[in-house]
Structure 1
């Protein structure tokens, strides 16, 4: 008996039956497994514009397989749309709002399983987090990437628009920028390239929570529709088998996911999202430590933009996530169970690689050094992340003087006024999960430096969030602990080093040695009080988020009682 079926004659049975009979459901319907189709459809962003059609198709498939589908809606954050409010604070915080949306809709109704329609950056991690929290049979369905556009004979996508729009002094005229905007996006779906959304879709398959061979996928393509049909059938089977996420989301699964993320040069945002999934699934794993451990021992097997020259379409055609796992060979544990009811090894047994130039064998990788590098040191004692690209020629070390800012707007203004120059280290702080709150975006200053010709000549150190495609120059992102973490104005006992930096302090970054140091005498630091950060007059959701968010080392998940 499924949990959604209550004993006939009870109050809950009678009132539920009254509600659902009024919806046109039969008594036979009400005995079936009840499956949530979790949908983040929205007219605010093209990322989600196709999800209603997919939800309708999935619901038909579930019904045909003997289940009873119910569509459950959640909030639908898009970085390029929702970053306009409160300095981008609604972006990461919306991830955890989605988790709670799902809990209310699915757990409150005591449904039996769910299939989650994954689209833009925050939906996939949120849905995986909810799967781990609720622990009912769940499948993630990647709903695809958008078609790129063309600008004056060359490739153009949304990231190119963002890059040119961030240029200080302007490298594109208003007419050119308008034309780029007109042509950058060719249809619904997530940003093309190896950004956060495609990275998380691939990681979901690596974890065993998406069907083999389903990621990445072009939105509204025959392959996407085939995956939707297969997922609809499989999720009903999973309910009958009582195959739950915590049987899939094991420590071994997270180790595989990290290996795959390193092999594809994923977005750095995968690090905190995987940690959040582990926290919600109650798996004791340190994801940042796994990236540091596996990085030097995991070859880079693909070079999809911005990591290299290839497109996400070429990567999909070459075999996608499954092909990467196949090429990794014995670096992938074959034993863990997956949502198919089979092990990783069984899923990969029939996988072939269609193009070994796009997804290379281990013996001929694009790089032997990781594209995601974890730095530690006196400025980032709990870690900071550098994203590289294949064939990078940026300086391996950088020593410069700090120029401190609390908003990216003030940093960009200083650059425009020539108050930032070669040899400087832009310290952009107060943008972490607590500081913003919600983790503000720090990409604009990185792109602005690039367009100003200062890549490699100016470094950036920040506790803010970076675009999943940022890998220009020496940029240390998501520095831990964040500047606002447990800092007390009257004492340095708990002051994060990032909060103690002053203009003119020397900072030393060594990517090869995995070091990010604040070169200031410890006695001087002990005498300092934390630099005061702007106070944000947040109310509503952001005030709840600030009071309950945990540090990045715990995935920035929400837990009551955090100071």
Structure 2
């Protein structure tokens, strides 16, 4: 907004001069150095999940400072607000990891309190590590005030003994050390060299997958994901976002104008095309649920799987790096390749359609972002399964390896905690041909899907059993997991009395990815007998915020969002 230009529409943040709210706000803000003239300008929230606890968030204050300058230069008034800042590798230490996913919805509510309470006019969301991205998108969908998302970039990784090393290698290596496959000294050496700067995990885990989702949804500027943290390219997009949000407020362009069913389909196809994190499924559903948008993300993943080839192979799915994906064209390059499959009429934060944003895009490296007729794989890297063990859903991050087994039938060996499962792996009780069932790690049982299912996957790999056993869990997996045949987020979960709770050691389980089924081969009469004597397990970590979360969280098909009506469900 140029000097002297008046807002094109009434702003909800402005109250009549001399009114109670107008006067007390003016008193507060004048003491902060805000002039009376500035009080009439659009008021923009900068949502900043800054924290000194984790490198993922350590650079956000510097980004917020430049964003404030850009917003002021565009004629608006920035207000920085803070939210929780969960990092899996830091926040995951307490309550068996339950605080990680639970923080996602806490972030959404943090934003509502600050932005809706103050009646601010728009938001720029600085997204970084995994849960900040869906948490901020969920708030945008819920509040429906003009919003633009800025991805704050991935961290530079390092080398150890002449080989590439990143945080994924450290995560896997820790479980390999636990099972005796990797010396402790090498694990320590890897951890000392894996991260060379701020930003999110450098592989195509949940963070980078969800950054790409933001762009594919139309909520981030085209060409802004993935991006190296603190690069000039990132800061260029920061400044552009600061200017653009002001015009979005003046034009009253809102998230629900952008978050259409077509936009969600575009995001689903982008995730499938890059073989992204399975956590994108529930996060996208959560955004749709918060925005009251009638979209079944799980069905979209099922329906789009066969028509969307995998056209990139970034770690952990393939051998390329996130830097190579960015250089080749990033999310915009992927969408250009998928153009014929997308809803190109979908609107974006630029005020232009997907088609307009893709008009002049070229791909710099056809081996990194391949054409749809020459993909890394025609079969889906993310597969949803159903069956009598997963009546609602189960999700498999299969990857693109043509040699991995797609069918597995074996006897169950059951555990209620990751510690029990890992102990059995170390003791040699988990033998080839078994199906490891790790339950009690769902939204309620964990709670918040805490429980360390990823640790069990990597322990299986470390024991040399990655291709010889399968695994089922109602917990979720790190976006960096792409090993073995693992059915995650089995729903309904065991703690709610889902079929997974009825499985006993020795039961035969059939997993068939070609038929997309996950079945327990036990007579229904036997299952009825087990159901009759089944007792709900005592809740764990049932105090404070996690108790509130458990009491109000919805099932996986709704995106594991909070729902106050659930307090009456007896959880």
TM-score, structure 2 length as denominator? 0.96
> Matched residue of 2:564: which SS?
coil
Residues 95, 541 of structure 2: 8 Å contact kept = no
Residues 500, 531 of structure 1: 8 Å contact kept = no
Residues 426, 463 of structure 2: 8 Å contact kept = no
Q: 1:84 aligns with which of 74, 80, 93?
A: 93
> Matched residue of 1:369: which SS?
coil
Runs of 4+ in 1 over 4 A off after TM superposition: none
1:556 corresponds to 2:554: no
Per-residue CA deviations over 1:509-553 (Å, capped at 9, x if unaligned) read 011111100000001101113365353142110011001000010
Distance in structure 2 (CA, Å) of the matches to 1:531 and 1:266 = 37
Give the equivalent residue in structure 1 for 2:29. Answer: 20
> Matched residue of 1:104: which SS?
helix
Residues 501, 531 of structure 1: 8 Å contact kept = no
Distance in structure 1 (CA, Å) of the matches to 2:222 and 2:180 = 44
Distance in structure 2 (CA, Å) of the matches to 1:13 and 1:313 = 49
For structure 1, the residue ranges without an aligned partner over 5 or more in a row are: 488-495
Give the equivalent residue in structure 2 for 1:491. Answer: none
Per-residue CA deviations over 1:238-263 (Å, capped at 9, x if unaligned) read 00110000000011110111011100
Distance in structure 2 (CA, Å) of the matches to 1:534 and 1:431 = 13
Give the equivalent residue in structure 1 for 2:325. Answer: 315
Give the equivalent residue in structure 2 for 1:543. Answer: 547
Q: 1:269 aligns with which of 270, 279, 289?
A: 279
Distance in structure 1 (CA, Å) of the matches to 2:45 and 2:405 = 50
Distance in structure 1 (CA, Å) of the matches to 2:174 and 2:511 = 29
Give the equivalent residue in structure 2 for 1:299. Answer: 309
Give the equivalent residue in structure 1 for 2:135. Answer: 126
Residues 264, 301 of structure 1: 8 Å contact kept = yes
Q: 1:213 aligns with which of 223, 232, 237?
A: 223
Give the equivalent residue in structure 1 for 2:495. Answer: 484
Distance in structure 2 (CA, Å) of the matches to 1:470 and 1:525 = 32
Matches within 5 A, 1:375-454: 375-440=385-450, 441-454=452-465
Distance in structure 1 (CA, Å) of the matches to 2:42 and 2:412 = 59
Matches within 5 A, 1:197-276: 197-276=207-286
> Matched residue of 1:166: which SS?
helix
Cα shift at 1:434: 0.8
Residues 113, 138 of structure 1: 8 Å contact kept = yes
Distance in structure 2 (CA, Å) of the matches to 1:89 and 1:534 = 16
Give the equivalent residue in structure 2 for 1:157. Answer: 166
Residues 406, 533 of structure 1: 8 Å contact kept = no
Q: 1:522 to 1:278 in 2, by over 3 A?
A: same
Distance in structure 2 (CA, Å) of the matches to 1:83 and 1:32 = 41
For structure 2, the residue ranges without an aligned partner over 5 or more in a row are: 1-9
Distance in structure 2 (CA, Å) of the matches to 1:184 and 1:202 = 23
> Matched residue of 1:46: which SS?
coil
Give the equivalent residue in structure 2 for 1:472. Answer: 483
Per-residue CA deviations over 1:263-297 (Å, capped at 9, x if unaligned) read 01010000000000000111111111111111011
Matches within 5 A, 1:6-17: 6-17=15-26
Matches within 5 A, 1:191-202: 191-202=201-212
Residues 201, 207 of structure 2: 8 Å contact kept = yes
Q: 2:507 aligns with which of 505, 508, 519?
A: 505
Cα shift at 1:79: 0.3
> Matched residue of 2:197: which SS?
coil
Size of the aligned set, in residue pairs, is: 554
Cα shift at 1:173: 2.0
